[in-house]
Structure 1
Amino acid sequence: MRSPRGPVRLALAAVLLALSALTGGCSSGGGSPVVVLGPWTGAEGEAFTSVLRQLSRGSGHRYVYQGTRSLRETLVAQLAADAPPDVAILNSIGELTEYAAQNKLKPLDEAAAERAFPPWSPTLMVEGRRRTYWVPLKVDLKSLVWSRTGSPGGDPAWCVGMAAQATSGWPGTDWVEDILLHQAGPATYTQWATGRLDWAGSPAVKRAFTTWAGLLEARGKRSQRAIESSLTMSFWGTPDPDHPDGDARGLLGGSQPGCTHEHQASFVRYLYAPRDDIRVEPAARFLGGSPTYKKAFEVSGDMAAVLTDSPGAQELVRRLTSEEGRQEWSKAAEPHLRPFFPDATDPQPDDNPVAQEIASYLTHDADTLCFDASDVMPPVLRDAFYRAVLEYFRSPTAATLRTILAQLETVRTQIAATDTPRGVRRPTDICHLSGPAGD
């Protein structure tokens, strides 16, 4: 009996091709379509589509891009329909590990795996064999603080936006992760992120939460109104009433009057790039950490994984991570949207001093780069972490902290007691010495 997968797969490709033809999302070129699912929409999606169009020439394939803000939900639905994209671009090592354990991912061929830079692409041990299942396409630096030049001295007045639809809470987990990294160091951070540290019993975890609460309390805005505003506002902020298109202006752009500093990753620069009164600096000095770890940084990334046996999928990953592919991407993007790449030999944004400073930390000035802890965790634990920081933000009391840490520890132990399918061992090499010492 013929599997229904073929017709479903062809129907999906036909729909995407029709949609892409209307939106400019279909790359030129003949041959069978290679469907790519990714997180970029708007101007970012247009730039990525342009790259696919360039790379399709001479490939014998048509590259079809589907960009969505609901990436996990879309991919889960496509997998359930047995109609996955050929290539998916995800930012969660935890999700990617689960897909590999479920035999949903294809190991990358040797040529595609050559650009598997640490800590973005830890290898997986699957049935006794060490394999590479994904590589970073673009990356971001976390552990950054943005502020207005000329901000008054004293304690920062922190901008906080916790909302993000299905992933509300992640700005809070970023805070807790960054504090723990700088207070306890990469070794403890790695144990915690990879499920080998007791949430409720670890002094380092408790201290990270209480330090975060103390920093936010110092902003003097713990009124119920301020709390609710932060819980319902994202890092995008509110639309700029003076801008004809109503573009978001970021939290420092007036969305939260009176705030002076924002803890956010490098991707937020596209909100502030047109301004010359916004500066960026490492977050370490704000976090109450040890001087030993002042040059440690969290990072995140958008990683490409192959989900089908299409030869065009492996070839596309090779092309996207090649020098040519990254140069094309950098040229295609608007200056403030040019991506950061994991290797110093790749083109880095140089449109302004802020971009140059961020690139310098990513490629050689940081001592240690550690992958975003919540994105390393299994999705069930990550989502519980999101909910926990929202609860603690609402009520940063000792009783609340005991409750949420006990709940998170229950989730962790339940996951630890579950056998991972196919003998997949979750990655532990999520921190990497950067610069000359780690090259």
Structure 2
Amino acid sequence: MNRAVNRAVGRGLRILLAVCLLALVPGCTSDTPDPLVVLGPWTGKEGKAFEAALNRLDDGTGRTYTYEGTRSLRETLVSQLEADAPPDVAILNSIGELTEYARRDKLKPLVEEAAERAYAPWAPTLLVDNKRRTYWVPLKVDLKSLVWSKEGTSSDDPTWCVGLASQATSGWPGTDWIEDILLHQAGPDVYEKWATSRLSWRDPAVRRAWTTWAGLLGDRSPKSIERSLTTSYEGTPGPDEPLGLLASPGFDCTHEHQSAFIRYVYTGDDVRVEPSARFLGGSAEYRDAYEVAGDMAAVFSDDPAAQELVERLSSPAGRERWQAEADPAVRPLFPNTTGLPPTTPANPVEQEIDGLLNSRARTLCFDASDVMPPELRDAFHRAVLEFFRDPAEKHLASLLRQLETVRAQVDEESADDRSFRPPEDICA
């Protein structure tokens, strides 16, 4: 008897649910819209701070937001697009990927309020369907071209820490080295042509950047090479968070070439930061040029609320909330542009980075590999890992020839208006 009653109740519930889904019964449908989904790269403390700021953005709009943070951002987004279930807003650090999505009609051009905050070099406009429009806006930025070292150590003869592992994107700490060296040796014009596929990988300036890196690293034992290839850019794990390469066991090194974001593992007062230019064998003419990166928000949804969310996130009020929610070590950095809140440095390291970004940098160039089409960027990552293991001239010539083949193939396909053509203005 009980089983019969249960079956009857179950059938009744299923029928009622079906009727509700068909909107045949008043009151079955809800007036509350689904939460907007935001896909982004931040996890851990960074992710919690961003999610907390996101939850405070309601301001009476009645919309709620769901944040999905992942270290495998490209893979996650590609799978969602293939399933025709993209997020409403995605936050990416690759101009190359964003350009690809814009040319395939996956992105929606930004409304004017958000587009006004798309400052160079983080968000160049794109020509799509014979219209020049803005498709993304930076939410936070990072200064590269930095060297970290232990307080009290001399910078005259540095021993370099190198950790190249990073899940699916291993190798990018090495591409950062080569990009930074090329920028300071050859200057922003050559850097820009190379990053946007208008300069051959076999150009002498490009080759020199690779060989300079090998020379700076010096002789390394097979054991140290293997350790660098298998150790995370964050260093070895500590009790609460990674130790950073400068403090990791087994790394007898004094200096590290890394972006400003790494400050979250160096929270004490025993580490200093300085511009990388003087370490790279570059020209004094390009000393005040810096490589930068960023995390850019783009709209994948037709929902007008997604456009409004990007406008709120990029507004002064949104950024103030984000800073207020974040621990000092992971607070987002913003350049001093009109209408944005000034950053109050939390410590001497952040003060130095803020001063370089907003006062002393004369030229800012976006991360070259993050401008390249994804196929070429990934090939660059792999080539760096191979070169690190074997920097012989003959091996380098082979690697550069392979990269040039990939570049030429992408360039040949660019005759199609829907194929990848990178923006050209990546230095400002």
Q: TM-score of the superposition, structure 2-length normalised?
A: 0.90
Task: Give the Cα–Cα distance (whole angstroms) in 2 for the partners of residues 179 and 280 of structure 1.
Answer: 18
Displacement of 1:133 after TM fit? 0.3
- Within a 5 Å distance, the mapping from 1:319-398 to structure 2 comes to 319-344=312-337, 345-398=340-393
Query: Do 1:126 and 1:424's aligned partners in 2 also have CA atoms closer than 8 Å?
Result: no
Displacement of 1:425 after TM fit? 4.6
- In the alignment, what sits opposite 1:228? 226
- In the alignment, what sits opposite 1:19? none
Query: Do 2:214 and 2:391's aligned partners in 1 also have CA atoms closer than 8 Å?
Result: yes
- In the alignment, what sits opposite 1:254? 248
Q: Give the aligned residue type for 2:42.
A: W
Unaligned regions of 5+ residues in structure 2, if any?
A: 1-30
Which of 107, 111, 114 lines up with 1:112 in the alignment? 114
Task: Give the Cα–Cα distance (whole angstroms) in 2 for the partners of residues 263 and 93 of structure 1.
Answer: 22
- In the alignment, what sits opposite 2:194? 192
- In the alignment, what sits opposite 1:85? 87
For 2:370, what is the secondary structure of its paired residue? helix
For 2:265, what is the secondary structure of its paired residue? helix
Query: Do 1:108 and 1:306's aligned partners in 2 also have CA atoms closer than 8 Å?
Result: yes
Displacement of 1:339 after TM fit? 0.4
- Within a 5 Å distance, the mapping from 1:111-150 to structure 2 comes to 111-150=113-152
Displacement of 1:348 after TM fit? 1.9
Q: Give the aligned residue type for 1:135.
A: V
Q: Give the aligned residue type for 1:264.
A: Q
For 2:369, what is the secondary structure of its paired residue? helix
Query: Do 1:30 and 1:62's aligned partners in 2 also have CA atoms closer than 8 Å?
Result: no
1:267 aligns with 2:261: yes
Superposed CA offset, 1:114-163 (max 9, x none): 10010000000112110100000001000000000111454210000001
Task: Give the Cα–Cα distance (whole angstroms) in 1 for the partners of residues 374 and 280 of structure 2.
Answer: 27
1:401 aligns with 2:396: yes
Q: Assess, with a 3 A threshold, how the Cα gap between structure 1 residues 153 and 185 changes in structure 2: closer, same or farther.
A: closer
- Within a 5 Å distance, the mapping from 1:155-234 to structure 2 comes to 155-200=157-202, 202-217=203-218, 220=219, 222-234=220-232
Displacement of 1:343 after TM fit? 2.9
Query: Do 1:179 and 1:212's aligned partners in 2 also have CA atoms closer than 8 Å?
Result: yes
Q: Give the aligned residue type for 1:411.
A: V
Which of 285, 302, 309 lines up with 1:309 in the alignment? 302
For 1:313, what is the secondary structure of its paired residue? helix
The count of aligned residue pairs is: 395
- In the alignment, what sits opposite 1:436? none
- In the alignment, what sits opposite 1:34? 36
Query: Do 1:181 and 1:189's aligned partners in 2 also have CA atoms closer than 8 Å?
Result: yes
Displacement of 1:256 after TM fit? 3.9
Query: Do 2:410 and 2:420's aligned partners in 1 also have CA atoms closer than 8 Å?
Result: no
Q: Give the aligned residue type for 2:205.
A: A
Displacement of 1:112 after TM fit? 1.2
For 2:298, what is the secondary structure of its paired residue? strand
Displacement of 1:30 after TM fit? 5.6
For 2:406, what is the secondary structure of its paired residue? helix
Query: Do 1:134 and 1:305's aligned partners in 2 also have CA atoms closer than 8 Å?
Result: yes
Q: Assess, with a 3 A threshold, how the Cα gap between structure 1 residues 72 and 81 changes in structure 2: closer, same or farther.
A: same
Q: Assess, with a 3 A threshold, how the Cα gap between structure 1 residues 177 and 62 changes in structure 2: closer, same or farther.
A: same
Task: Give the Cα–Cα distance (whole angstroms) in 2 for the partners of residues 392 and 148 of structure 1.
Answer: 28
Superposed CA offset, 1:300-349 (max 9, x none): 00000000111110000000011100000000001111100133542325
1:430 aligns with 2:426: yes
Q: Give the aligned residue type for 2:94.
A: S
For 1:373, what is the secondary structure of its paired residue? coil
Superposed CA offset, 1:176-209 (max 9, x none): 0000000000000000000000111x11001000
Q: Give the aligned residue type for 1:322.
A: S
- In the alignment, what sits opposite 1:21? none
Displacement of 1:423 after TM fit? 7.4
Which of 80, 100, 103 lines up with 1:101 in the alignment? 103
RMSD: 1.4
Query: Do 1:145 and 1:281's aligned partners in 2 also have CA atoms closer than 8 Å?
Result: yes
Larger Rg: 2
Query: Do 2:124 and 2:426's aligned partners in 1 also have CA atoms closer than 8 Å?
Result: yes
Displacement of 1:56 after TM fit? 1.6
Query: Do 1:89 and 1:304's aligned partners in 2 also have CA atoms closer than 8 Å?
Result: yes
Q: Give the aligned residue type for 2:265.
A: L
Q: Assess, with a 3 A threshold, how the Cα gap between structure 1 residues 349 and 227 changes in structure 2: closer, same or farther.
A: farther
- Within a 5 Å distance, the mapping from 1:288-307 to structure 2 comes to 288-307=281-300
Report % sequence identity: 63
For 2:56, what is the secondary structure of its paired residue? helix
Unaligned regions of 5+ residues in structure 1, if any?
A: 1-28, 433-439
Query: Do 1:125 and 1:425's aligned partners in 2 also have CA atoms closer than 8 Å?
Result: no
Query: Do 2:372 and 2:422's aligned partners in 1 also have CA atoms closer than 8 Å?
Result: no
Task: Give the Cα–Cα distance (whole angstroms) in 1 for the partners of residues 235 and 420 of structure 2.
Answer: 41
Q: Give the aligned residue type for 1:395.
A: D
Task: Give the Cα–Cα distance (whole angstroms) in 2 for the partners of residues 203 and 267 of structure 1.
Answer: 32
Q: Give the aligned residue type for 1:54.
A: R
- In the alignment, what sits opposite 1:4? none
For 1:155, what is the secondary structure of its paired residue? coil
